[in-house]
Amino acid sequence: MDILIERKSVRKYTNEDIEKKDLDYILHAAMSAPTARNTRCCSFVVIKDKETHKKIAAVHHAAQMILQAPLAILVVGDKNVVFEEYLPQDCSAATQNILLAATARGYGSVWCGVYSNKKISEAVEKLFNLPENIKAFSIVVIGKSADNNSLKNRWHPEKIKYEIWG
Ligand SMILES: Cc1cc2nc3c(=O)[nH]c(=O)nc-3n(C[C@H](O)[C@H](O)[C@H](O)COP(=O)(O)O)c2cc1C
């Protein structure tokens, strides 16, 4: 399987759990993402508790798939250790590594955005009792896929320019 090309957002899951060794691999991949100036500003909250899943669904309209997933990972960034403009870039790289690592281990996943929505990010930061310097960035929902949608072709050569735009 080519994980880079075959990764897709999965929003339907079986009720199978994520194995501990796979979760550790996914978190290791997240921590292996690049960070500007090597600040390693990202941390990760593993969320298995169903009650917390319900609370997330209540504040994030586009994260309803969490209600049937075994696990989610909240990606956060520490604004005390990173220039604030790098925080979303560093956390994006970590989030993408989570998606790819989950795909590599045979799980489906989806990136639920938090950081760019003030109402959602404030609600999530309150829910997880995050200190003022720790910013909620994304919630990645993960589970064994129960999604039978076939992969769309995403190769668009017209999006490529060589050497110069015009
Ligand atoms: C910054 C960002 C925020 C996203 N937020 C959500 C979200 O809140 N809920 C959701 O279901 N998908 C979310 N997605 C997933 C996109 O909808 C998805 O990547 C897009 O539709 C393309 O589909 P694909 O991932 O299968 O290629 C988000 C993706 C990104 C990059």
Could you report the per-residue pLDDT of 97-136, keeping only the tens digit for each? 999 999 999 999 999 999 999 999 999 999 999 999 999 9
| 160 domain residue, yes or no | no
State the residue for tokens 């309209």.
Answer: 61
Q: What CATH number is given to the structural domain containing 133?
A: 3.40.109.10
Annotate 42-71 with b (16+ C-beta within 10 A) or e (fewer).
bbbbebeeeebbebbeebbeebebbeebbb
Question: Which H helix or E strand runs over 103?
Answer: helix 87-104
Name the residue range of residue 27's domain.
10-146
* Ligand 1 centroid to residue 82 C-alpha, Å: 25
Whether the CA torsion 96, 36, 46, 21 is positive or negative: it is: positive
Q: Please name which of 134, 149, 141 lies closest in space to residue 60, comparing C-alpha atoms.
A: 141
C-alpha 140: how far from chain center = 3
> Residues in the chain with pLDDT < 50?
none
Q: Which atom of ligand 1 is nearest to the CA of 11?
A: 11
**CB atoms < 10 A from the CB of 134, how many?**
18
| 3 domain residue, yes or no | no
| Residue 146 burial by Cβ neighbours in a 10 Å radius (0-12, 13-18, 19+) | middle
In this prediction, residue 82 carries a pLDDT of 87
Give the orientation angle of helix 50-59 with respect to helix 118-127, to 10 degrees.
160
Smallest CA separation from ligand 1 atom 6, residue: 112
| 121 domain residue, yes or no | yes
| 45 domain residue, yes or no | yes
Q: How many domains does the chain have?
A: 1
In this prediction, residue 34 carries a pLDDT of 98
* Ligand 1 centroid to residue 155 C-alpha, Å: 18
Pocket test residue of 4, 6, 9 for ligand 1, highest count of atoms within 8 A of CB:
9
